[in-house]
Homo-oligomer: A and B are copies of this chain.
Amino acid sequence: MKAALLGYGTVGKGADAVLKGSGVEVSRILARRPRPELGERLTLDMSDVLGDPDISVVAECIGGYEPAHGFLRASLEAGKSVVSSNKQMIARYLRELVSLARERGLSIAFSAAVGGGIPWLVNLVRTAGADRITGLGGVMNGTTNFILNAMQGGGGDFADALAEAQRLGFAEADPSADIDGIDVRAKISISADLAFDVFLDPETVPVLGIRHITAADVANFRELGLVCRLIGRADRTDSGAAVYAEPMLFGAGSAEQSLPGAMNLISLEAERAGRMSFSGPGAGMGPTGSSVALDILDISRGRSAFDAISCQNVIENDTDGVLHRYYARGFSKLPFEAESRTGDAVITGPVSVSAMHAAVSAALEAGDRPFAASLAGR
């Protein structure tokens, strides 16, 4: 079987290496600039991919909305199954692309979009095929896990930890998508879509990031025996789902507290199967490239778990009913009562996710630099 790769960055290169000798031939690679090392496989023109009847799977590792989205649409319309590692694009266009694939009897898979090398989405879909998933979530962003571990371990401030992450290649030059939770928002949105076989507009997922966390916050957490993680969370509700992303504080004895480096840890809760967790490297050439390659191999063998999804039922996101106690600091006016105080921060009573996220937005608009994190299980 022949496949094409769109994009030859970290992920594309990784997938190409894994597929060598696998039985799937990467016969075309679309890049933006000449790459002599790719020889005859290189093309700068997407029509070379679309017009090649021997190519049955197209794997997109470009990132961004366009032209990635248009390329996948065109590939499906040309009768080719598609694979993607592009979380932002998949989160936005999942419903449309799955519908197009189903109409044509083609496959679409995107394991690498969430969890890097961890087989999270395939197992989520497989479990959902014989069980009722009630909730899911966890640490889905390696960059922020690295930064939070560095702050927890070294006692330094956010800027130092971010600079260290950038120096070691764990954070990009523009780290906004990671530290503001935009990356997690796409990942939890896709995960919710597959767990509940629905579609949710990712823009409706409320997000708090870690941009304003300080060394003093981390010292407070240490005093409380807690460790901060940026998490995504989705719960099934009567009307649809409650999906959000925010910093959360985990206590001793939890797997989240001891999660090292840039690792991811994602769990699902199912009515019959119970709670299962998956952890591993959430990014990197080897892991993410492997995920893309495995999706291509599954499709080539007619064995893709993603073939079970439909995701046509559009649902609303409603986080009014999810209540947490929150650690909150840096609000010139916090509209919730404090149950206790730690340094210059407060611990609130139970507050809804929607109310706390609204309070953070209001504080930001008022010029504050607020930081809020929920307390896991409380």
Question: Which residues on A are within 8 Å of B, measured CB to CB?
Answer: 14, 17-19, 22, 117-119, 122-123, 126-127, 129-131, 252-255, 257-260, 270-281, 284, 286-287, 289-291, 293-294, 297-298, 301-305, 307-308
Contact = CB atoms under 8 A, between A and B. Distances in A.
A306 to B, nearest CB: 10
Contacts of A303: 302-305, 307
A110 to B, nearest CB: 16
A279 B277 contact: yes
Contacts of A255: 255, 258-259, 279
A14 B14 CA distance: 41
A113 to B, nearest CB: 16
A126 to B, nearest CB: 6
Nearest to A131: B290
A260 B253 CA distance: 8
B280 A276 contact: yes
A297 B277 CA distance: 22
Contacts of A294: 126-127, 129-130
Given A272-B290, A276-B278, 4 more contacts: A18-B130, A119-B276, A126-B294, A303-B305
A19 B272 CA distance: 12
Contact of A280 (B252, B275, B291): B275
A301 B125 CA distance: 14
A232 B307 CA distance: 34
A356 to B, nearest CB: 28
13 contacts: A19-B130, A22-B130, A127-B290, A130-B290, A252-B258, A258-B258, A270-B290, A273-B290, A273-B291, A274-B280, A276-B278, A301-B307, A303-B303
A247 to B, nearest CB: 21
Contact of A297 (B119, B129, B289): B129
Contacts of A118: 276
Nearest to A303: B303
Contacts of A123: 119, 123
